[in-house]
């Protein structure tokens, strides 16, 4: 049977009695429908949809999505030129959580129902809501680029709120607890605890501090680079987390003795010498330092969930309590923000000196309170304690 002539596309009846539809695409290629139709009206409706897509500029090459997702995703990660730690995280999440489900599929085979089923299965099997949210955001970002590349028409990741994480309340240590942790972790590493809390410096920033970055006269530290440690054990020396991470940090005066002693006893010699090295003279390893941290945390009686990184949150809180503004805290901690209002706020070196001074005053005050309580307890007479016990019994 001759094909039916139309203004857009053609329809012909097959020997089976079903109908075939085809049209000339904007790319000049003759495009048959992926299925045959029971009636000519159904075939005509399909052609009408295609005509609307072409006229509206929404037409997508049906063969464009025939690209393997795994290959596309790995290329996507590579092209982003990410920081070493972010690159490692993305590849790990893809390998463990995304590729087992979508790795063998083409881009156009990843549908919204498949995404919903995958997310539900991940939540049930891992119970790690935060990890699943990260993986969902990564999958969505990759597929959004596929939309931009005109490989698929619409992003199938359309679950409202699926990429949001509910962060647990971070723990805050008291001044007394910070001192206890510094004492428990040992003389070689106590300065790291103090810089983590009162800098507040990130662990990867401390890992790359050099002797030339420390000015004992002005009690300042210049943060230039960072050296996060990957799961392979390799130190990825590079830029700080953001441009705001490159900064001068004014330290509170009460750290002068600890800073001077560390420079004299443990820091490598020469301007380029690392500030923190292990007992054998090599850059400290996250794994070995982690064991020391957990042992010190247990000795002090801190919760198992209190991480070394939580010292930064402690520093944020204590700085605010000492009178620092939001902008002061951001500058001190090396944080950036996209909020336009913060662009017009300013925190210069003089203000940072004031913040460090307020922090110094507050910590010294807290230490005096603790020392006073200890002296009062130590000086209590035995008969006073006995009489106090008898009064408690009588009451």
List pLDDT tens digits, range 126-164: 878 899 999 999 999 999 999 999 888 899 999 999 998
Residue 124 pLDDT > 80: yes
The answer to whether position 154 is within a domain reads no
Do 44 and 104 have their domain in common?
no
Do 89 and 220 have their domain in common?
no
Do 284 and 343 have their domain in common?
yes
Residue 3 pLDDT > 50: no
Share of the chain above pLDDT 90, in %: 52
Do 122 and 181 have their domain in common?
no
pTM of the model: 0.67
Lowest model confidence (mean pLDDT) among 145-149, 207-211, 378-382: 378-382
What pLDDT band is residue 383 in, cutting at 50, 70 and 90? Answer: low
246-304 confidence digits (pLDDT tens): 888 999 999 999 999 999 999 999 999 999 998 888 887 887 888 999 999 999 999 88
Indicate the average pLDDT of the chain: 86
> What is the rounded average pLDDT of the residues 32-53?
90
Residue 26 pLDDT > 80: yes
Share of the chain above pLDDT 70, in %: 89
What pLDDT band is residue 241 in, cutting at 50, 70 and 90? Answer: confident
Segments forming the whole domain that contains residue 45? 4-56
Residue 230 pLDDT > 90: no
Q: What is the pLDDT of residue 331?
A: 75
Q: What is the pLDDT of residue 341?
A: 31
Do 183 and 143 have their domain in common?
no
The answer to whether position 195 is within a domain reads yes
323-359 confidence digits (pLDDT tens): 777 777 777 777 665 343 333 344 556 677 878 888 8
> What is the rounded average pLDDT of the residues 165-191?
89
Q: What is the pLDDT of residue 367?
A: 92
Domain count, the chain: 3
Do 211 and 124 have their domain in common?
no
Q: What is the pLDDT of residue 156?
A: 96
The answer to whether position 346 is within a domain reads yes
Q: What is the pLDDT of residue 344?
A: 36
Do 42 and 79 have their domain in common?
no
Q: What is the pLDDT of residue 177?
A: 95
- Highest mean pLDDT of the ranges 6-10, 197-201, 283-287, 378-382: 197-201
Do 277 and 183 have their domain in common?
yes
Q: What is the pLDDT of residue 343?
A: 36
The answer to whether position 155 is within a domain reads no
Do 185 and 293 have their domain in common?
yes
59-114 confidence digits (pLDDT tens): 777 766 689 999 999 999 999 999 888 999 999 999 999 999 999 999 989 999 99
> What is the rounded average pLDDT of the residues 200-204?
90
Lowest model confidence (mean pLDDT) among 1-10, 78-87, 115-124, 175-184: 1-10
The answer to whether position 235 is within a domain reads yes
Q: What is the 3-state secondary structure (H, E, C) of the chain?
A: CCCEECCCCEEEECCCCCEEEEEECCCCCEEECCCCECCHHHHHHHHHHHHHHHHHCCCCCCCCCCCEHHHHHHHHHHHCCCCHHHHHHHHHHHHHHHHHHHCCCEHHHCCHHHHHHHHHHHHHHHCCHHHHHHHHHHHHHHHHHHHHCCCCCCCCCCCCCCCCCCCCCCCCCCHHHHHHHHHHHCCCCHHHHHHHHHCCCCHHHHHCCEHHHEECCCCEEEECCECCECCCCCECCECCCCHHHCEEEECCHHHHHHHHHHHHHCCCCCCCCECCECCCCCECCHHHHHHHHHHHHHHHCCCCCCCCCHHHHHHHHHHHHCCCCHHHHHHHHCCCCCCHHHHCCCCCHHHHHHHHHHHHHHHHHHHHHHHHHHHHHHHCCHHHHHHHHHHHHHC
The answer to whether position 169 is within a domain reads no
Q: What is the pLDDT of residue 273?
A: 95
Q: What is the pLDDT of residue 322?
A: 79
Q: What is the pLDDT of residue 338?
A: 39
């Amino acid at each position: 049977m001759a094909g039916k002539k139309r203004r857009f596309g053609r329809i012909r009846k097959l020997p089976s009695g079903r109908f075939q539809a085809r049209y000339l695409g904007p790319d000049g290629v003759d495009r048959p429908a992926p299925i045959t139709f029971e009636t000519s009206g159904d075939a005509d409706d399909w052609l009408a949809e295609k005509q609307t897509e072409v006229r509206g500029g929404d037409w997508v090459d049906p063969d464009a999505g025939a690209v393997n997702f795994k290959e596309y995703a790995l290329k996507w990660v590579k092209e982003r030129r990410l920081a070493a730690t972010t690159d490692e995280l993305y590849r790990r999440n893809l390998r463990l959580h995304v590729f087992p489900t979508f790795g063998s599929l083409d881009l156009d085979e990843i549908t919204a129902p498949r995404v919903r089923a995958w997310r539900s299965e991940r939540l049930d099997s891992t119970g790690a809501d935060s990890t699943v949210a990260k993986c969902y955001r990564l999958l969505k970002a990759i597929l959004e680029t596929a939309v931009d590349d005109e490989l698929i028409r619409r992003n199938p990741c359309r679950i409202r709120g699926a990429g949001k994480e509910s962060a647990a309340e971070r723990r805050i240590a008291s001044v007394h607890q910070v001192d206890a942790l510094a004492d428990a972790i040992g003389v070689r590493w106590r300065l790291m605890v103090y810089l983590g809390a009162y800098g507040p410096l990130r662990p990867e920033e401390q890992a790359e501090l050099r002797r030339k970055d420390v000015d004992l006269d002005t009690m300042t530290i210049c943060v230039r680079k960072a050296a996060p440690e990957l799961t392979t054990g390799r130190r990825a020396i590079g830029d700080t987390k953001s441009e705001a991470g490159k900064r001068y940090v004014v330290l509170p005066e009460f750290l002068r003795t600890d800073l001077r002693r560390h420079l004299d006893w443990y820091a490598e010699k020469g301007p380029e010498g690392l500030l923190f090295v292990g007992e054998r003279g090599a850059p400290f390893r996250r794994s070995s330092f982690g064991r020391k941290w957990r042992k010190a945390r247990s000795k002090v009686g801190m919760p198992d969930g209190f991480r070394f990184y939580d010292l930064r949150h402690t520093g944020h809180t204590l700085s605010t309590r000492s009178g620092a503004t939001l902008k002061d805290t951001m500058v001190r901690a090396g944080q950036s923000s996209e909020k336009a209002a913060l662009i017009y706020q300013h925190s210069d070196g003089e203000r940072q000196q004031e913040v460090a001074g307020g922090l110094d005053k507050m910590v010294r005050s807290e230490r005096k309170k603790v020392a006073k309580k200890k002296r009062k307890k130590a000086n209590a007479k035995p008969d006073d304690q006995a009489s106090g016990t008898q009064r408690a019994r009588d009451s």
